Structure 1
Amino acid sequence: MTLAEIARLAGVGRAAVSNWRRRHDTFPAQIGGTATSPNFSLRDIEKWLRDNGKLGKTTTREWLWPRFEALGDRDEAGLAIATVGRLLARGESDGGVSDGAGAGPVRAAVELGRREGAYDIFMFLFRRWLDTHVRQITTTPETLADLMADLALRTRGPFVGERHEDPIRVLDPACGSGHLLAAAAKTVPTTLHRPATLLGCDRDPVLTALTEARLALLPDPEAPGPMPVIAPGDSLRADPLIGAQADMVLCNPPANERDWGYEDLAADTRWVYGTPPRTELELAWVQHCLARLRPGGSAVLLLPPTVAARKAGRRIRRSLLRTGALRAVVALPPGSAAPHSLSLHLWVLRRPAPEESPQGPGAFLFVDAAARFPRSTSRDSGPEGGELGAFIRSVVGTAGGGVVAGGSHEPATEDSGATAWTAAVPVIDLLDDDVDLTPGRHVTPSSGHVGPRLADSWSEVGELLDGLRAESACLAAIELARGTEDRPSATVGELARAEALTLRSGRLPAEAAVSEPGHARVPLLTISDLLLDESPSGWVYPDDAVVVEPRDVVVVGVSREFSAWVHEGPPMAVGPQIHALRVDPDALDPWFLAGSLKSPANARHAGTHASSSSRIDVRRLQVRRIDLSEQRRYSDAFRHLAAFEGLAERLRIVAMRMGRDLGDELAAGRLANGE
């Protein structure tokens, strides 16, 4: 166990554990790790905490995860957690658990699950497992999964002879950790008041076991359906659910795989719209999903933006358009899901039903939500997840009608304000040499929307200029001494050991992508957000994260984005390579600390200089040793300097946005005739 894990189990900060280690001779000895990151025996730590009355009051479940993690192997720990879920779902005793290394943790988890809630305990262990292996497993954020399930419902049908009591069959052929199927299990009964039959498969048998247990433990929806059927297997090469016909397919397929079975599947009957080239794995998944739909069924896939424009896939895209199988492409803002640097696309498809009256080539819907929701650079604001979902739902239409579902060629009403970021383009106009389906190439905001936005921007420019004048006057009045006084300095590491501050390093929780703010959630800031000049990219539970409070100092430990500032907004979680410093107010002023740490000379001293992505050793950053009253003198100057830099950066962003809007208007010939 690390010091951070001991702190979590005891319900205290890491600094408190360090103090116990220094002050108590009976504290267990280090059994591994390094001098700066020691490891301890779980058994010894538990005994010491109990003997010294330092166990947290609400940490019963916290003791579960170290026992599963101690199994060592990713697969063994995952299968043990799946066993917990299976036993809890079936209400079985633990008599069927073998007496291997995982038997003790499984029995303890089952017992706790029956006391505190089966689903809660299973999901606690499941999220911790995902958190530990977050770099190996791709998940779909909760709100994006909900949106995809909702869009599939809005696009499906009509079905001849469909009965109200019939279950809706939902398939995810690359289900991974089951986020999309869990969203469907919630959305289908709530929207249609009908049960959902959940089908899924994945190449990773550990993930399929976990997903099956997760779905079996879902709280009973309004219309509970049959037990889920989750099978291990490669959907493209040897589909274990080959005979299944679904009403809806949801899929976040794997990307960037060269060996997906191109040679073996060259003559596969699923390639109705053309044989996918070796580089077009995603278009193979698109056709696989369409092949698993019953006529009239709908599919929503999350795909990289390059799928819409690569030359190798233009023949298949042309065929999808001509047959009406592909109905819409929605461009999501960067950060909506991993990889967070890309503006991923949602492809909305429907397998045409024979009984539908022919509509002709019709119109194709483009939605540029990435342009509608450009990210703010404010580090104190979260993503507009709720507004994003509401916007996309409004322009795609309602179940049984709207642009996609009912085949109408008219976009959403002007009253909704959505048409500035949507376009209903005749299919015939898209069947050129490129067949480029990138929404940004077809969606042009109308003059009626750009005009008011420009007026607001000019007003904002005036306010920013007023603020810059005020701050520049304060900074210009600062007198700098000619000489430099030789004062001793201290490193962050030394200040931490002296308990003048507490240093915590951020980490990436399991649910680390865009999702709506829920009860007791806080925004999460990552290095990717800073590289993209974005606001925090998701919402997480504070118990699973390192959270900064007002007046904490935030330090970015990457050379390219090195910075330090005082957090003044609501609580916010920080990801890897971002550090939180909480100062003792009787020893340090946070503004003085942040301003001192931010010095470029400090970064040169503490950095590795290997590349622009090199890390900064935060513990080596230096601060001058001066008394608190003098710190506060410098604090005022650092405050004005930070405000000046923030206003200048905001003005740069507004100027770039205005340049794009005004440039488009002038290029379109909308300059009014003057007298």
Structure 2
Amino acid sequence: MAGDEASVTAADIARMAGVGRAAVSNWRRRHEDFPEPVGGTATSPTFSLGAVEAWLLQQGKVAELPLRERVWQQVRAAGDDLRLGEVVAEAAELLLGQGRPHTVPAPAWELIRRYAEEEGGPQAVRFLLDRYADVHSRRLAETPAEIADFMAHLAGPGARSVLDPACGLGVLLAAAAPGRRAYGQEYDDSLARLARSRLTLAGAGGAPETGGEVRAGDSLRRDAWPDLTVDAVVCHPPFNERHWGYDELTSDPRWEYGLPPKMESELAWVQHALAHLAPGGVAVLLMPAIAANRRSGRRIRSNLLRRGTLRAVIGLPPKVASGGTALPVHIWVLRKPTADDPTPSRVLMAEADLGNLDTVAERWREFRADPDLDVDRPGESRTVPIIELVDEDVDVTPSRYLGTEEQVSAEGYLLLRERLAERLGRLATLVPEAVPGTGQELPSVTLAELERIGALAVWQAGRFEIDGSGDPVLTDRHVLDGGAVETRTRPEGRIRIEPGDVVTAIGTGGLATRVIEEPGLLLGPRLVLLRPDPDRLDPFFLAGFVRALSPGATTGTQSGSTRFDPRRAQVPRLSVEEQRRYGDTFRGIFTFETELRELTASGQAAATALTHALAAGTLAPPT
């Protein structure tokens, strides 16, 4: 058993027991002897590993703690979150026969060796890399494996060398590395070490012509490969990076297509990639969708098009392409012109999903072989004359040029149908449970009183312009509809939301609340933020009861709009333990609502796509 210093999250407990996180929430609610949190926050508590393991064994939830979980918790206990990458990097290197133990404690190394003996060294390395990526998924934003493979295919089979200048954990570089000399750079030293280990697993380990090397450092400010030219560049750069070096790199020779705007770091990465390409080489970059039409980037987009450098833009499903962040993204495919290249007249625009990645890759291969190819497949791909793109907006958003009809391939529909069936089954497991109550009204307290005694802080955001650059902004639409946060603005003078905050919005259907669990958001106009003291107020309890018991806190105005006066809202006066019991149920309700809303939208989209596909002859009724 791991020492008492090791702690686990609800997600860790779910993995240990082989159940979903909802089951862990149910155990906390139903079993009074479930271990109390020893750290973390109200929305993301941590528990003693020893106490959790003892409880799971006593309750018969597991026969024994899986070895891989013992390994991971010992690794977690060897250092805090800031040093975790160093510990994992050293463990991976040791498993690959590199170096000697310095950071990994002896008990952890013994467990790691046992796991490697049972599963094999390469599998043990993959486990450590994947679990580290999972723990830091919000910060790392790694490229999903399917998209990494797709981008590697787009880079072309003829490339003998490849560079990823922002390689993170090396997922994308490893996908493109086999059979090629691979080069990488990563700002964080620990991540660079982990990327080297992943390259070794991918077979890019030593031969001069097909080896792999990753260096640490800031690619834009201190390029580790200043004189390197390669046949292909693949890159998933950091999005919306405000401090990328604009002031110190103004006259940098890499800006051949124009000085990147200060708030468009992605266009700096595009030109950095092009600077490392040999003539005729291909760069494939994952880009935020907003880079296709931001006004500040028009000049650079225009130059990329006019000189025949931007060759294709491919739209991707948000959650598939960006690791669950739900941000809309595109893939830009660029080719560095050669001295004798004729100026291309068209650009390939396409929309891809997991069901047609191979089809879209084939479209790119066909177009690359014949740049004058005239293709028009509504809803899938079209080759657009460059003269249509270099207008006042220089908008290279694929959906703008692919028609409005939703269509789906036969293979894509089978996958879509399978996913919908899985989600329908999952929805049934998310229906919240409740038992008969006493029917008695609970004693209540106003939020004004909670604010007075310091249990709650209240903020409201006034009206301001959202200019499309900077940090993500939570708006009333996101709170009311549960949509992905795509809007952005500069953070100066704005209220920054913290995980555990409750945000409220008023819509035609009444008051909506949302407990924030992701960091880095700004409070948008017309929203009210409630920040509970987690030792005195459970955020999900607060969100649920504010929504249910606050009709008297909403008032009409002379303009006909409705406003929410947070200080008039009420919640029951309950102990923190009772609050958490209610909070767990409210959390289940919110999860159920979100899944139901997303399932409804997906089902409607599937029905529309199927209707159009039947009408177009792409699909036919079963015989």
TM interval, short-chain normalised: 0.5 to 0.7
Q: What is the distance in 2 between the residues matched to 1:648 and 1:253?
A: 30
Q: How big is the shift at 1:288? A: 0.6
Tell whether the 8 Å contact from 1:411 to 1:422 is kept in structure 2 after alignment. Answer: no
Correspondent of 2:73 among 66, 72, 75? 66
Q: CA 1:88 to 1:602, structure 2 compared with 1: closer, same or farther past 3 Å?
A: same
| Aligned pairs for 1:296-335 within 5 A | 296-335=280-319
| Aligned pairs for 1:215-254 within 5 A | 215-218=199-202, 226-254=210-238
Q: How many residues align?
A: 459
* Residue of structure 2 in register with 1:293 after alignment: 277
Is 1:258 the counterpart of 2:239 in the alignment?
no
Tell whether the 8 Å contact from 2:479 to 2:505 is kept in structure 1 after alignment. Answer: no
Q: CA 1:108 to 1:307, structure 2 compared with 1: closer, same or farther past 3 Å?
A: same
Is 1:344 the counterpart of 2:329 in the alignment?
yes
Q: What is the distance in 2 between the residues matched to 1:104 and 1:89?
A: 19
Q: CA 1:35 to 1:213, structure 2 compared with 1: closer, same or farther past 3 Å?
A: closer
* Residue of structure 2 in register with 1:176 after alignment: 168
Runs of 5+ consecutive residues of structure 2 not aligned to the other structure: 1-6, 411-435, 442-477, 485-501, 507-515, 519-543, 554-563, 573-578, 586-595, 616-623
Q: How big is the shift at 1:394? A: 3.2
1:444 is matched by which residue type in structure 2? G
* Residue of structure 2 in register with 1:116 after alignment: 119
Tell whether the 8 Å contact from 1:363 to 1:426 is kept in structure 2 after alignment. Answer: yes
Q: CA 1:559 to 1:62, structure 2 compared with 1: closer, same or farther past 3 Å?
A: farther
1:327 is matched by which residue type in structure 2? R
Q: CA 1:390 to 1:76, structure 2 compared with 1: closer, same or farther past 3 Å?
A: same
Q: CA 1:184 to 1:22, structure 2 compared with 1: closer, same or farther past 3 Å?
A: same
Tell whether the 8 Å contact from 1:340 to 1:528 is kept in structure 2 after alignment. Answer: no
Tell whether the 8 Å contact from 1:203 to 1:234 is kept in structure 2 after alignment. Answer: yes
Correspondent of 2:87 among 76, 80, 83? 80
Q: What secondary structure does 1:135 align onto?
A: helix
Tell whether the 8 Å contact from 2:255 to 2:268 is kept in structure 1 after alignment. Answer: yes
Q: How big is the shift at 1:254? A: 1.0
1:272 is matched by which residue type in structure 2? E
Is 1:620 the counterpart of 2:612 in the alignment?
no
Tell whether the 8 Å contact from 1:11 to 1:56 is kept in structure 2 after alignment. Answer: no
Tell whether the 8 Å contact from 1:361 to 1:428 is kept in structure 2 after alignment. Answer: no
Q: How big is the shift at 1:173? A: 0.4
Q: What secondary structure does 1:97 align onto?
A: coil
Q: What is the distance in 1 between the residues matched to 2:257 and 2:152?
A: 25
* Residue of structure 2 in register with 1:97 after alignment: 101
| Aligned pairs for 1:424-463 within 5 A | 424-444=383-403
Q: CA 1:56 to 1:276, structure 2 compared with 1: closer, same or farther past 3 Å?
A: same
1:392 is matched by which residue type in structure 2? V
| Aligned pairs for 1:126-205 within 5 A | 126-153=129-156, 168-185=160-177, 189=178, 195-205=179-189
Q: CA 1:528 to 1:135, structure 2 compared with 1: closer, same or farther past 3 Å?
A: farther
Q: How big is the shift at 1:267? A: 1.4
Q: CA 1:352 to 1:46, structure 2 compared with 1: closer, same or farther past 3 Å?
A: same
2:189 is matched by which residue type in structure 1? P
Q: How big is the shift at 1:126? A: 2.3
| Aligned pairs for 1:399-548 within 5 A | 402-403=366-367, 405-412=368-375, 418-444=377-403, 488=438, 531-532=482-483
Q: How big is the shift at 1:140? A: 0.8
2:111 is matched by which residue type in structure 1? A
Q: How big is the shift at 1:29? A: 9.2
Q: What is the distance in 2 between the residues matched to 1:395 and 1:135?
A: 33
Q: What is the distance in 2 between the residues matched to 1:236 and 1:443?
A: 35
Is 1:604 the counterpart of 2:563 in the alignment?
no
Tell whether the 8 Å contact from 1:299 to 1:350 is kept in structure 2 after alignment. Answer: yes
TM-score of the superposed pair, with normalisation by structure 2:
0.61
Q: How big is the shift at 1:343? A: 2.7
Q: CA 1:321 to 1:107, structure 2 compared with 1: closer, same or farther past 3 Å?
A: same
Q: What is the distance in 2 between the residues matched to 1:406 and 1:293?
A: 19
Q: How big is the shift at 1:273? A: 1.5
Q: What secondary structure does 2:139 align onto?
A: coil
Tell whether the 8 Å contact from 1:3 to 1:14 is kept in structure 2 after alignment. Answer: no
* Residue of structure 1 in register with 2:593 after alignment: none
Q: What is the distance in 2 between the residues matched to 1:334 and 1:196?
A: 30
Q: How big is the shift at 1:324? A: 1.4
2:81 is matched by which residue type in structure 1? R
Tell whether the 8 Å contact from 2:229 to 2:277 is kept in structure 1 after alignment. Answer: yes
Is 1:280 the counterpart of 2:264 in the alignment?
yes
1:84 is matched by which residue type in structure 2? A
Q: What is the distance in 2 between the residues matched to 1:337 and 1:220?
A: 25
| Aligned pairs for 1:389-400 within 5 A | 389-397=357-365
Tell whether the 8 Å contact from 1:245 to 1:292 is kept in structure 2 after alignment. Answer: yes
Q: How big is the shift at 1:428? A: 3.0
Q: CA 1:7 to 1:215, structure 2 compared with 1: closer, same or farther past 3 Å?
A: same
* Residue of structure 1 in register with 2:191 after alignment: 207
Q: How big is the shift at 1:389? A: 1.0
1:208 is matched by which residue type in structure 2? A
Structure 1 window deviating more from structure 2 (45-54 vs 339-348): it is: 45-54
Structure 1 window deviating more from structure 2 (8-17 vs 203-212): it is: 8-17
Q: How big is the shift at 1:329? A: 1.1
Q: CA 1:409 to 1:35, structure 2 compared with 1: closer, same or farther past 3 Å?
A: closer
Q: What secondary structure does 2:280 align onto?
A: strand
Q: CA 1:17 to 1:170, structure 2 compared with 1: closer, same or farther past 3 Å?
A: same
* Residue of structure 1 in register with 2:341 after alignment: 358
Tell whether the 8 Å contact from 2:182 to 2:211 is kept in structure 1 after alignment. Answer: yes
Q: What is the distance in 1 between the residues matched to 2:109 and 2:608?
A: 58
Give CA deviations for 1:209-249 in whole Å, capped at 9, x if unaligned: 1111122133689x996442111111111101222221111
2:338 is matched by which residue type in structure 1? A
Tell whether the 8 Å contact from 2:480 to 2:505 is kept in structure 1 after alignment. Answer: no
Q: How big is the shift at 1:147? A: 0.7
Q: What is the distance in 1 between the residues matched to 2:39 and 2:45?
A: 6
Q: What secondary structure does 2:318 align onto?
A: coil
Q: What is the distance in 1 between the residues matched to 2:204 and 2:217?
A: 28
Tell whether the 8 Å contact from 1:169 to 1:197 is kept in structure 2 after alignment. Answer: yes
Is 1:268 the counterpart of 2:252 in the alignment?
yes
Q: How big is the shift at 1:606? A: 11
Q: What secondary structure does 2:183 align onto?
A: strand
Q: How big is the shift at 1:303? A: 0.8
Q: What is the distance in 1 between the residues matched to 2:256 and 2:584?
A: 65
Tell whether the 8 Å contact from 1:247 to 1:297 is kept in structure 2 after alignment. Answer: yes
TM-score of the superposed pair, with normalisation by structure 1:
0.57
Give CA deviations for 1:464-511 in whole Å, capped at 9, x if unaligned: xxxxxxxxxxxxxxxxxxxxxx974699xxxxxxxxxxxxxxxxxxxx
Structure 1 window deviating more from structure 2 (425-434 vs 143-152): it is: 425-434
Runs of 5+ consecutive residues of structure 1 not aligned to the other structure: 158-167, 190-194, 370-383, 454-485, 492-526, 534-556, 562-574, 578-599, 624-642, 663-675
1:389 is matched by which residue type in structure 2? L
Q: What secondary structure does 2:321 align onto?
A: coil
Tell whether the 8 Å contact from 2:29 to 2:584 is kept in structure 1 after alignment. Answer: no
Q: How big is the shift at 1:152? A: 1.1
Q: How big is the shift at 1:207? A: 1.0
Q: What secondary structure does 2:148 align onto?
A: helix
Q: How big is the shift at 1:333? A: 2.6
Q: CA 1:531 to 1:393, structure 2 compared with 1: closer, same or farther past 3 Å?
A: farther
Give CA deviations for 1:442-467 in whole Å, capped at 9, x if unaligned: 33369xx99x99xxxxxxxxxxxxxx
Give CA deviations for 1:560-587 in whole Å, capped at 9, x if unaligned: 89xxxxxxxxxxxxx989xxxxxxxxxx
